[in-house]
Amino acid sequence: MPDVDHFSDSEESFHSFDDNEPSPPTSPPRPAPTGTQESKETRAQTSESRRNRRRGSSPPANKKPTAARPVTDRFPPTEEAALLTSSNALETTANSLFATASYQNAIQTYDKALASCPNYLDYELAVLRSNIAACHLKLEEWQDCVDSATKGIEGLERLEPLPKPAKKPKGGSATAKSQPQQAAAIQQSATEDDDHMIEEVDSDLEARIALLNSTGHTLPELRTLQIKLLTRRAKAHTSLATWSALQAADEDYATLLHPTMQATLSPTDKKHVLASARALTPLLKAAQEREVGEMMGKLKGLGNSLLGNFGLSTENFQFVKDERTGGYSMNFEQNPTGKKG
């Protein structure tokens, strides 16, 4: 029986926007740089980055560890390459298992690939976690999919943070408008945000750039993987169908529709994201009404149990909604309508 509950720091995967196709191994082992491949400046930057990533080591006196550069150990280049080769081989096996719909066994094998992959290779780990998330989608294990995708998203944010979702219009979800209205609103919001967020090249940004360069992957590649993880998490949240889960899905779709992310979306993928986002509006409203109704029912039961000691019930208290403000006023009635005294 597959150990599907074992998801330490090894979980998730399927590096394909189409959940019917697993991703190939992420990258070949990276050889150690030679003196002819690096300038003195690059070597100094790499050396400083590695020093700051040593677990338990102290950062330089004039710098603090940044979110993009967590303090961690690195394996020697030859050992790192061997571990990555092993991880890639396991991923290839897991991809074959996925192709035959053996999703539980694929999850186990991806988990082994994660255990073999060095824990500072955020991109490679995120690919595996995206694949595991796709397995959970196939198995309809929605919460496991959310957990797997979230770990992958968090790992990639150390390389490049996601843009902030567009501000939601009052009185509805960020996806409640028609497609032209929505696109215009998101573009305007993002432009307004960008006008106030001119990022200077500080030490944190320099660290992120250096770290991304060290992975051997480009920013478009990273954005593509973030899109896949966000999409899978949004699908799982939508299937969970609770009010809070649907709100989380709405936020993920809003992030995907940010201009920064749209630049990486293909026209087909953008159309799919917009359609999924719009479909959330009635689901959100229904879930809100359902859960508020359930909560009010529980409160009414509690109120009746307390008021019964005084010969009263919640029927003696009438709540009237003020449509102008949305607030409620309470009136007491000794003999509620329909009751005989």
Q: DSSP string covering 164-183, please? A: PPPPPPTTS-TT-S-HHHHH
Provide the pLDDT for residue 219: 93
Q: How far is CA 249 from CA 21, 44, 125, 255, in A?
A: 23, 43, 23, 10
What would the pLDDT profile of 17-32 be if each residue is shown by its tens digit? Answer: 455 556 666 655 454 4
Provide the pLDDT for residue 284: 83
175 residue type, one letter: T
Residue 297 has pLDDT above 60, yes or no: yes
| Residue 156 and residue 35 in contact, taking contact as beta carbons nearer than 8 Å | no
Provide the pLDDT for residue 150: 98
Quote the pTM value. Answer: 0.66
Would you call 314 exposed, middle or buried from its count of C-beta atoms within 10 A (0-12, 13-18, 19+)? middle
Q: How far is CA 19 from CA 9, 71, 90, 232, 311, in A?
A: 22, 34, 19, 9, 60
Average pLDDT, the chain: 75
Question: What is the arithmetic mean of pLDDT over 108-124?
Answer: 97
Provide the pLDDT for residue 34: 47
Domain boundaries, the chain: 40-157, 179-286, 311-341
Question: What is the arithmetic mean of pLDDT over 135-156?
Answer: 98
What would the pLDDT profile of 51-89 be if each residue is shown by its tens digit? Answer: 344 333 344 444 444 444 455 689 999 999 999 999 999
Q: How far is CA 169 from CA 128, 175, 245, 248, in A?
A: 36, 9, 19, 16
Of 265 and 292, which is predicted with more confidence? 265
Would you call 305 exposed, middle or buried from its count of C-beta atoms within 10 A (0-12, 13-18, 19+)? exposed
Collapse the DSSP code of 32 into the 3-class scheme (helix H, G, I; strand E, B; otherwise coil) and give the result: coil
Residue 49 has pLDDT above 50, yes or no: no
Q: What is the CATH number of domain 40-157?
A: 1.25.40.10
| Residue 327 and residue 321 in contact, taking contact as beta carbons nearer than 8 Å | yes
Collapse the DSSP code of 320 into the 3-class scheme (helix H, G, I; strand E, B; otherwise coil) and give the result: strand
Residue 214 has pLDDT above 90, yes or no: no
Question: What is the arithmetic mean of pLDDT over 180-206?
Answer: 56
CA 139 to chain centre: 19
Question: What is the arithmetic mean of pLDDT over 164-172?
Answer: 61
260 residue type, one letter: T
Q: What are phi and psi of 180, to 5 degrees?
A: -65, -40
Q: How confident is the model at residue 243 (pLDDT cuts 50, 70, 90)?
A: confident
Residues above pLDDT 70, as percent of the chain? 56
Residue 119 has pLDDT above 80, yes or no: yes
| Residue 72 and residue 120 in contact, taking contact as beta carbons nearer than 8 Å | yes
